[in-house]
C-alpha cells in the first residue's frame, strides 16, 4: 500500500511538472498552435508514400551506427606491421585506417555487426531515396508548388552518393583503394586544373598521405551535416505544402485527405521504423558484406580480383568501360576524353537534367496552377517513357561496369560484350521509350473500354437467338472517379509564322508531349465536375 501511494505521488508530480513546463513554453513560443497544426495534419496511407520514410529511417540507422564506429576508427595512413588477431595478415604493413577496421571487426564487441549494419543501411538509404525520386517523377509530384523540394531531393541524392563513396573508401583495403585510384584518374582528367586538384586532394602524388583523413572529415562532418540540414528542410516543406494524394472520391486539388498524424500515422510510422531497423539488423547478421580482411591492405601496384564498386556508383564504372580510348594533346596538355566525358561530363549532365526537368515541363505545358493530385503514369505517356528510358540507360551502364565478370561467367568475349553494351546504351533507351509510351496509351484505351462496357463478370449467357456472350457490370463509382479525374494539359496552339523561335519550339515540344492521348467517355456534366476537382489555387503572379 505504501509503495502504491508513493508511486501515485511521483506520477502526480511528474504530470504537474510536465504541465508546468508545457505552460511555460507555450507562453513564450507558439507551442500549442504548432503542435495542434502538426497533430491535425493529414498523411496519405498509400504504400508508395512510405518510400521516403524508409530512406529517413535507414539514415537514422546510418547516424547511430556511424557514431559508434567513429569511436574506434583511426583515419591514419601511417603504415606499421599488423599484429592483430587475424593471422593471415600478421606482419604485413598496413595503414592505421585498415588496422582499425580490422580491430572493429574482430576485437570490438559487436563491431562487425555494427560495421555491416552501417554498410547495409547505406545501401538501403540510397536505394530508397532513388525509388522515392522515381515515384515523385512518374506521378508528377514535382510540379508547382514543389519544385524547390524536388531540387532539395536531387541534392540529397547527390550528397548520398558522395557520402557513400567516402565511407566506401575509408577502410583503405585493396578494393576501396582501387576505387580511389579510379577517382584520382577522374580528377586528373579535368582539363588544365585536374593535376592540381589531384595533388591538393591526395596531399601529393597518388596515393598521397592525406586522402583518407580528408575523406573521413567529409564523411563524418561535412556531408552528414548537409544531409541533416537538407532532410530537415525537405520535411518542413512537406509539412508546409502538404502531401500529394492519389485521385479518389473526396480528394481534389484543394484539400488534403488522409489519417491524422497522431495517433494513426505516428503508430504506423513507428512500426515501419522498427521494421527497417530489424530488417537491416537481420541482413547484417546473416549476409556478409565488405569483408576487408579477404581483400588485404591497399597496394598501388595491385588490383583486387573482380573489383566492383557499390551499385549506386557502378554506372560511372560502366561509362568508363564503354567509352572509346579518345585522347588529344593540346598545348602540351593531354585531354583524356575517354575519362573526362563519361566520368565528369555525363554525371554532370544527368544531374542537370534532374534539376531542370520540373521547370522544363512547366515551360512546355504553360501550366501556372498548383497540383496536389498525383498523375497516374499511364496518363502522361511521354513523361513515363522518358523516365523508363532513363532507368534503362542507368541499368545498361551499371551492367557494363561488370562486363569482365559477366564475360568470364558466361564464357564470352569481353570486346564483344562491350560492343553489345555500347549499342544497348544508345538503342535501349530509345526502344524502351517507344514501348513504354505505347503501353501507356494501351492502358488508357483499356480504361476507356472499361468505362464504356464495364468490367467482365466471367459469366457466359446465351441469348434467345442462340448466341453466347460474356456479361459485364458497370464500374463502381470509385473506379470511375480514378479514371475520369485526370489533369492532362492540352497542346499549345501553333504560333504565327513570324513568332519568335522559342515560341515555335515551345509549341512543338508541347505537341510532342501532350498530343497522344485517349479521351475518356464523359458527359458534359462529368467533365465540369472533373475540371472543378483538378482546378487548384490561382497563381500569385504571371510567369512565362
Complete DSSP assignment for 105-152: HHTSTTHHHHHHHHHHHHHHHHHHHHHHHHHHHHHTTTSTT-HHHHHH
Burial of 493 (0-12, 13-18, 19+ CB in 10 A): exposed
Q: Using one digit for the tens of pLDDT, what is the confidence trace for 247-266?
A: 888 888 888 888 887 778 88
User: How much is the pLDDT for 260?
Assistant: 82
User: How much is the pLDDT for 544?
Assistant: 37
Instruction: Compute the distance between CA of residue 377 and CA of residue 387 in angstroms, rounded to an integer.
Output: 10
CA dihedral (329, 330, 332, 334) positive or negative? negative
Most confident residue range from 5-9, 64-68, 527-531: 64-68
Give the three cell numbers for residue 489. Answer: 494539359
Q: Per-domain residue ranges for the chain?
A: 37-305
Mean pLDDT of the region 353-360: 97
User: How much is the pLDDT for 310?
Assistant: 82
User: How much is the pLDDT for 543?
Assistant: 38
Instruction: Compute the distance between CA of residue 409 and CA of residue 173 in angstroms, rounded to an integer.
Output: 25
Please, are residues 89 and 309 in contact by the beta-carbon 8 Å criterion? no
CA dihedral (2, 7, 12, 14) positive or negative? positive
With pLDDT > 70 as the criterion, what percentage of the chain qualifies? Answer: 94
Grid cell 504560333 — which residue?
A: 495
Q: Using one digit for the tens of pLDDT, what is the confidence trace for 129-163?
A: 999 999 999 999 999 999 999 999 999 999 999 99
Mean pLDDT of the region 417-421: 95
Instruction: Compute the distance between CA of residue 428 and CA of residue 312 in angstroms, rounded to an integer.
Output: 20
Please, are residues 62 and 123 in contact by the beta-carbon 8 Å criterion? no
CA dihedral (138, 141, 146, 152) positive or negative? negative
Most confident residue range from 32-36, 46-50, 80-84, 307-311: 80-84
Q: Residues 332, 326, 200, 305: what is their CA dihedral angle, to the nearest 10 degrees?
A: -140
- pLDDT over 90 (residue 454): no
User: How much is the pLDDT for 36?
Assistant: 61
Give the three cell numbers for residue 323. Answer: 567509352
Please, are residues 290 and 118 in contact by the beta-carbon 8 Å criterion? no
Nearest to 484 by CA among 523, 427, 456: 523
- pLDDT over 70 (residue 541): no
Count of other CB atoms within 10 angstroms of residue 52: 22
Listed in sequence order, the DSSP H helices in 41-83 are 51-70
Instruction: Compute the distance between CA of residue 82 and CA of residue 177 in angstroms, rounded to an integer.
Output: 18
User: How much is the pLDDT for 137?
Assistant: 97
- pLDDT over 80 (residue 39): no
Please, are residues 149 and 170 in contact by the beta-carbon 8 Å criterion? no
Strand (E) or helix (H) holding 469: strand 468-473
Residue 533 pLDDT class (50, 70, 90 cuts): confident
Q: Using one digit for the tens of pLDDT, what is the confidence trace for 321-339?
A: 999 988 888 777 778 899 9
User: How much is the pLDDT for 474?
Assistant: 85
Domain 37-305 sits in which CATH superfamily? Cytochrome Bc1 Complex; Chain C (1.20.810.10)
Strand (E) or helix (H) holding 42: strand 42-43
Count of other CB atoms within 10 angstroms of residue 128: 22
- pLDDT over 70 (residue 517): yes
406 or 31: which carries more pLDDT confidence? 406
Of the listed ranges 29-38, 185-194, 399-408, 419-428, the one predicted with least confidence:
29-38
DSSP labels, 224-269: HHHHHHHHHHHHHHHHHH---B---TT--TT---SEEIIIIIHHHH
The number of angstroms, rounded, from the C-alpha of 420 to the middle of its chain's C-alpha atoms is 28
Nearest to 248 by CA among 91, 491, 46: 46
Mean pLDDT of the region 48-60: 94
3-state secondary structure of 214: helix
Sequence-distant (≥ 6) Cβ neighbours of residue 375 within 8 angstroms: 138, 139, 140, 383, 486, 487
- pLDDT over 90 (residue 487): no
Q: Using one digit for the tens of pLDDT, what is the confidence trace for 10-35?
A: 878 877 877 677 677 666 666 666 66
Considering the chain, what is the average pLDDT of its residues? 89
Amino acid at each position: 500500500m505504501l509503495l502504491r501511494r508513493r508511486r501515485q505521488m511521483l506520477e502526480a508530480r511528474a504530470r504537474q511538472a510536465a504541465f508546468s513546463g508545457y505552460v511555460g513554453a507555450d507562453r513564450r513560443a507558439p507551442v500549442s498552435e504548432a503542435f495542434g497544426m502538426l497533430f491535425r495534419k493529414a498523411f496519405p496511407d498509400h504504400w508508395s508514400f512510405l518510400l521516403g520514410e524508409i530512406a529517413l529511417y535507414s539514415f537514422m540507422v546510418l547516424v547511430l551506427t556511424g557514431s559508434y564506429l567513429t569511436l574506434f576508427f583511426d583515419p591514419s595512413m601511417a603504415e606499421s606491421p599488423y599484429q592483430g588477431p587475424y593471422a593471415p595478415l600478421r606482419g604485413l604493413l598496413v595503414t592505421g585506417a585498415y588496422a582499425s577496421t580490422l580491430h572493429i571487426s574482430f576485437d570490438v564487441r559487436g563491431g562487425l555487426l555494427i560495421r555491416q549494419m552501417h554498410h547495409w543501411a547505406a545501401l538501403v538509404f540510397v536505394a530508397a531515396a532513388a525509388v522515392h525520386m522515381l515515384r515523385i517523377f512518374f506521378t508528377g509530384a514535382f510540379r508547382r508548388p514543389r519544385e524547390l523540394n524536388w531540387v532539395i531531393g536531387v541534392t540529397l541524392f547527390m550528397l548520398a552518393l558522395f557520402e557513400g563513396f567516402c565511407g566506401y573508401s575509408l577502410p583503405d583495403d585493396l578494393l576501396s583503394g582501387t576505387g580511389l585510384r579510379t577517382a584520382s584518374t577522374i580528377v586528373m582528367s579535368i582539363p588544365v586544373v585536374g593535376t592540381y586538384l589531384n595533388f591538393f586532394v591526395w596531399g601529393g602524388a597518388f596515393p598521397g598521405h592525406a586522402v583518407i583523413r580528408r575523406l573521413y572529415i567529409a564523411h563524418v562532418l561535412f556531408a552528414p551535416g548537409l544531409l541533416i540540414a537538407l532532410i530537415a528542410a525537405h520535411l518542413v516543406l512537406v509539412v508546409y505544402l502538404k502531401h500529394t494524394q492519389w485521385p479518389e472520391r473526396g480528394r481534389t486539388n484543394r484539400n488534403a485527405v488522409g489519417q491524422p498524424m497522431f495517433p494513426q500515422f505516428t503508430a504506423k510510422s513507428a512500426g515501419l521504423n522498427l521494421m527497417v531497423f530489424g530488417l537491416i539488423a537481420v541482413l547484417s547478421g546473416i549476409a556478409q558484406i565488405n569483408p576487408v580482411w579477404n581483400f588485404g591492405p591497399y597496394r598501388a601496384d595491385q588490383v583486387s580480383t573482380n573489383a566492383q564498386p557499390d551499385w549506386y556508383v557502378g554506372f560511372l564504372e560502366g561509362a568508363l568501360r564503354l567509352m572509346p580510348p579518345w585522347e588529344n594533346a593540346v598545348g602540351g596538355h593531354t585531354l583524356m576524353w575517354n575519362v573526362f566525358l563519361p566520368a565528369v561530363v555525363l554525371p554532370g549532365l544527368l544531374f542537370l537534367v534532374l534539376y531542370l526537368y520540373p521547370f522544363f515541363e512547366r515551360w512546355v505545358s504553360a501550366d501556372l496552377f498548383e497540383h496536389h493530385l498525383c498523375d497516374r503514369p499511364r496518363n502522361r505517356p511521354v513523361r513515363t517513357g522518358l523516365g523508363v528510358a532513363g532507368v534503362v540507360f542507368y541499368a545498361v551502364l551499371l551492367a557494363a561496369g561488370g562486363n569482365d565478370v559477366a564475360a568470364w561467367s558466361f564464357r564470352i568475349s569481353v570486346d564483344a560484350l562491350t560492343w553489345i553494351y555500347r549499342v544497348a546504351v544508345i538503342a535501349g533507351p530509345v526502344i524502351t521509350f517507344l514501348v513504354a509510351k505505347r503501353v501507356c496509351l494501351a492502358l488508357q484505351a483499356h480504361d476507356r473500354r472499361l468505362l464504356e462496357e464495364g468490367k467482365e463478370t466471367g459469366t457466359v449467357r446465351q441469348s434467345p437467338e442462340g448466341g453466347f456472350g460474356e456479361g459485364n457490370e458497370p464500374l463502381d463509382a470509385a473506379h470511375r472517379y480514378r479514371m475520369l479525374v485526370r489533369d492532362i494539359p492540352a497542346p499549345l496552339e501553333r504560333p504565327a509564322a513570324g513568332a519568335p523561335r522559342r515560341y515555335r519550339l515551345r509549341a512543338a515540344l508541347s505537341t510532342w508531349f501532350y498530343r497522344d492521348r485517349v479521351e475518356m467517355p464523359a458527359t458534359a456534366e462529368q467533365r465540369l465536375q472533373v475540371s472543378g476537382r483538378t482546378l487548384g489555387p490561382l497563381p500569385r503572379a504571371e510567369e512565362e
